[in-house]
Amino acid sequence: MAATALPQSNKASTPSSIPNLETLSSTYSQPLLDLLYQAHQVHRAHHPNNEIQLCTLSNIKSGNCPEDCAYCPQSVRYQTGIDTWELPSVDEVRTQVQEAKAHGSSRFCMGAAWRMPPHQQAFDQVLDLVKMVASEGLEPCVTLGMLTYDQACQLKEAGLLAYNHNIDTAPSFYGDIITTRTIDDRLETLANVGKAGLQVCCGGILGMGESLEHRMEFIQTLCQLETPPESVPINCLVPVEGTPMENAPPVDPLDLVRTVATVRIFLPTAKIRLSAGRLSLSEEAQTLCFFAGANAIFSGEKLLTTANNEMSKDDRLLQKLGLSVQSSSYAPAE
């Protein structure tokens, strides 16, 4: 096994424990079985065994986003033919929340195709949605683009648990993927979120043409966040026709497994969400991801605009593997 020391706790925010790129790369590139063994030991030391969290996604504002993220079907710049809509009523979303709860989800994440919340009236509607999700006893999470500190505080006050805001890739590759904002914009929002006392959910996408070095830089950046991420979504690109990445070749599932394992080792306490792209993975590849440390998935037949795994198939897989669904321990602050 590589002589990398196992971090004993999530001290990723302290400079002494930020892994350098060589350490990350030697961990990632060691023989696969050694990597799996190391990652699984870290996993067992920090997480309940054989448990997976289910999270349901809801697209609360679809399409027409002004940003130019090259992977995203919701950008107004690409002809992807998706359905578009504005914010739904609280009751519409409540129905989705109740269905999600009945199906075992303990987190409910609402995504909006915004660069940032456009005006206070829309933001107030989101605050009402957050309050409703909290009152139904699920962990509320939202992803709304850039936030000010004041907005992050308003979300916290409404009962929000976590804010999803991905760095998506290496800082040095960011400009190849998105030109309408910078990685520093991203980090600023993450800092605002952390300062407001919200949990940080931050991850990225594999398969956008990044190099191995870019992947290591991406993981290192996650480890350097001011507020260590409580949750790290790892997406594989879903190539959508009409986007600049429509013809990107698929990620090798074993590279995904290596990425999950490396994130597990260096962010031992974070939940790792096996996110977009799971539909293209075999049951065996998903199983290796779980062994490597992934302990959350998106449940539901749709992500935001693209298809996700059938819930009955997920249920069967979890049952076959003897994995149980993590129950909700969420209690909104009084």
Per CB under 6 A, residues contacting ligand SF4 are 65, 67, 69, 72, 74-75, 113, 115, 145
Report the SS3 class of residue 168.
strand
Which residue of the set 141, 202, 223, 289 is catalytic?
A: 141
Minimum CB distance to ligand SAM smaller for 36 or for 205: 205
What is the distance between the alpha carbons of residues 70 and 51, in angstroms, rounded to a whole number? 34
Q: Is-catalytic flag, 153?
A: no
Q: Which residues contact residue 139 at a Cβ distance below 8 angstroms, ignoring those fewer than 6 apart?
A: 106, 107, 108, 133, 161, 162, 328, 330
Are 108 and 296 in contact by the 8 Å Cβ rule? The answer is no
Q: Is-catalytic flag, 273?
A: yes
Give the Cβ contact number of residue 217 at 10 Å.
Answer: 19
Q: Is-catalytic flag, 69?
A: yes
Q: Which residues contact residue 207 at a Cβ distance below 8 angstroms, ignoring those fewer than 6 apart?
A: 236, 237, 248, 249, 250, 251, 277
Which residue of the set 109, 202, 223, 236 is catalytic?
A: 109
Q: Which of 177, 187, 180, 137 is nearest to 161 (CA)?
A: 137
Q: Is-catalytic flag, 72?
A: yes
- Compute the least distance from the CB of residue 55 to ligand DTB, in Å: 8
Name the binder of 75 from ligand SAM, ligand SF4, ligand DTB, none, CB < 5-8 A by kind.
ligand SF4
What is the distance between the alpha carbons of residues 159 and 169, in angstroms, rounded to a whole number? 29
Name the binder of 93 from ligand SF4, ligand DTB, ligand SAM, none, CB < 5-8 A by kind.
none
Minimum CB distance to ligand SAM smaller for 148 or for 324: 148
Run of H or E residues at 175: helix 174-177
Q: Is-catalytic flag, 289?
A: no
Q: Is-catalytic flag, 141?
A: yes
Which residue of the set 55, 65, 202, 289 is catalytic?
A: 65
Q: Is-catalytic flag, 202?
A: no
Site residues for ligand SAM per CB under 6 A: 71-72, 74, 111, 113-114, 143, 145, 165-166, 168, 205, 235, 237-238, 240, 276, 304
Name the binder of 165 from ligand DTB, ligand SAM, ligand SF4, none, CB < 5-8 A by kind.
ligand SAM
DSSP state of 71: T
What's the chain's length in residues? 334
Name the binder of 225 from ligand SF4, ligand DTB, ligand SAM, none, CB < 5-8 A by kind.
none
Minimum CB distance to ligand DTB smaller for 106 or for 166: 166
Positions marked catalytic: 65, 69, 72, 109, 141, 201, 273
